[in-house]
């Protein structure tokens, strides 16, 4: 009996027939476009925690990022305080293959490692380009040779 009672207590059906179960009625306020909903009461006061009183806020020195090995930055997905050079400009532009369309989908953002930019187009062709000039270093077609396996799409680079 005890086992059945414990198992049934986790069942969502039991919660629905419980007369004391409080039903979730959704959010109390919903913001429309251009309207703001406060996450803190109007009369609440924000105060510094005792342990932080008198402490200065600082950022570490900006660090150059020379490799972007994964979408999002690093394996830890932490890009810290990045030093972006002053006066940024477009160094080069290059088409690298099939764009997204009804039958082809670009799903992999580019990654940069060891002075090369790696990209994958909508037809599963992966290519490496020199990061300084944009010149193609190599290209590989990853489409399956067997037509039966050609139904899937997508992929990633790392």
113-125 exposure pattern, b = at least 16 Cβ within 10 A, e = fewer: beebbbbbbbbbb
CATH 2.40.10.480 fits 64-75+106-147, yes or no: yes
Report the SS3 class of residue 34.
Answer: coil
Tokens for 25, please give them: 């009625």
Report the SS3 class of residue 116.
Answer: strand
pLDDT the model gives residue 16: 59
pLDDT the model gives residue 79: 73
Tokens for 8, please give them: 């049934």
pLDDT means per 10 residues, the chain with 158 residues, are 61 58 66 75 82 83 79 70 81 86 81 90 90 94 73 68
pTM of the model: 0.54
Tokens for 15, please give them: 């919660």
Tokens for 72, please give them: 């999002």
Question: Quick one: which H or E segment has residue 137?
Answer: strand 136-141
């Amino acid at each position: 009996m005890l086992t059945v009672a414990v198992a049934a207590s986790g069942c969502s059906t039991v919660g629905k027939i419980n007369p004391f179960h409080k039903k979730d009625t959704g959010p109390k306020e919903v913001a429309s476009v251009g309207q703001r909903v406060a996450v803190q009461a109007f009369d609440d006061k924000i105060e510094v925690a005792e342990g932080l009183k008198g402490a200065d806020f600082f950022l570490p020195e900006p660090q150059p990022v020379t490799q972007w090995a994964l979408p999002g930055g690093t394996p830890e997905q932490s890009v810290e305080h990045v030093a972006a050079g002053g006066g940024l400009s477009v160094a080069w532009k290059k088409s690298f293959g099939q764009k997204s369309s009804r039958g082809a989908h670009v799903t992999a953002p580019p990654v940069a490692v060891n002075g090369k930019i790696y990209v994958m187009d909508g037809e599963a062709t992966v290519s490496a380009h020199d990061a300084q000039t944009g010149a193609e270093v190599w290209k590989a077609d990853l489409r399956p040779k067997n037509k039966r396996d050609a139904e899937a799409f997508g992929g990633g680079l790392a």
